[in-house]
Amino acid sequence: MSDQNDNKVDQPVAVAKAKYSPFALAALPLSLLGIMLFIIELDIGFLFVLLALVLSLIGFVQIYLSKGTRKGNGMLISVLAIVAIAVLIPAQGKVRPVAYTMVCGSNLSGIDKAMLSYQNDYNEKMPTAQRWCDLLVSFADVSPSQFVCKATDCRKGESSYAMNKYIADPNLSGVPADIVVLFETDAGREPHNPPYAIGANDGNIVEINNIPVVVRGPSLDPNRWNQVGGPEILVTTHHKPEGSNILFGSGECRFVPKDQIGSLRWKP
């Protein structure tokens, strides 16, 4: 009897293979769906991300208490990373408009310096109103990109800005400090449905008789360049909160909120 017991071989105990936590399996696709909805700016994506977060937390608890019968920690960590990205997307959406507003103001400040340079070279006169964009590109070393506010659908070779018609053509140094010189506009913008592609060379600079000239082919709005006007063509919808970047006679460029636009000075 003892020999028979000695000859017995201990059989290995079968270990159940760990299965994925159903909470982990559900949380991952929900988080991916949520972030896709965030990217296309649908607020309902927040609900999917929130649900994925709750499921992932439950999944972590389930795996911890399962004593090895459940797995999916790696999947749940991926869910948390996706949730973190989803949290950052709205924050980025708030930062981008502020950055566009600042770059737009920087564009106007650069154009102001170019106008001063032009004035110094051409008998203390401002560029002729009907050709002010062309003249600054040709004779004041301004890039066509500087006329484009990134918060708009304006393209290189078009202008997001207009010159105040009431001060067009005089000596810039004689313009009162608080008067509007340049401002944001959509004047000349034409609807295109569907949008057409910009020409290969449109917006680029070529030299004609050694003078830089902007190529403005048929793909660009013909009147969205060299704009001149008054408060009737000023727009405040390019930025959030609404308002407009304004270049004043003093050389100061300032963002003016929508509720203060009515107090701007247009006439000398």
- Clarify whether residues 104 and 151 are in a common domain: yes
- Clarify whether residues 153 and 84 are in a common domain: no
- Clarify whether residues 101 and 144 are in a common domain: yes
Q: How many independent structural domains does the chain possess?
A: 2
Query: Is 6 part of a structural domain of the chain?
Result: no
- Clarify whether residues 73 and 108 are in a common domain: no
- Residue 252 main-chain phi, psi, to 5 deg: -75, 135
How would DSSP label each residue in 51-104?
HHHHHHHHHHHHHHHTTTSEE-HHHHHHHHHHHHHHHHHHHHHHHHHHHHHHHH
- Clarify whether residues 136 and 235 are in a common domain: yes
Domain boundary among 92, 122, 141: 92
Q: Name the residue type at position 97.
A: P
**pLDDT tens string for the chain (268 positions)?**
555 555 555 555 555 678 888 888 888 888 888 777 766 656 677 788 888 888 888 988 988 888 888 888 888 888 888 777 776 666 555 556 778 899 999 999 999 999 999 998 988 888 999 999 999 999 998 999 999 999 998 989 999 999 999 987 667 677 899 999 999 999 998 876 555 555 566 777 787 777 888 888 778 888 999 999 999 999 999 998 899 999 999 999 999 999 999 999 999 8
State how far the Cα of 112 lies from the Cα of 132, in Å rounded to an integer: 12
pTM over 0.85: no
Domain boundary among 60, 92, 124: 92
140 close to 122: Cβ distance less than 8 angstroms: no
- Clarify whether residues 183 and 133 are in a common domain: yes
- Burial class for 255, CB neighbours closer than 10 Å (0-12, 13-18, 19+): middle
Among 267, 245, 244, 9, which Cα is nearest to 107's? 245
- Clarify whether residues 236 and 103 are in a common domain: yes
State how far the Cα of 169 lies from the Cα of 108, in Å rounded to an integer: 18
Q: Which domain holds residue 72?
A: 17-92
Query: Is 3 part of a structural domain of the chain?
Result: no
- Clarify whether residues 139 and 259 are in a common domain: yes
Query: Is 10 part of a structural domain of the chain?
Result: no
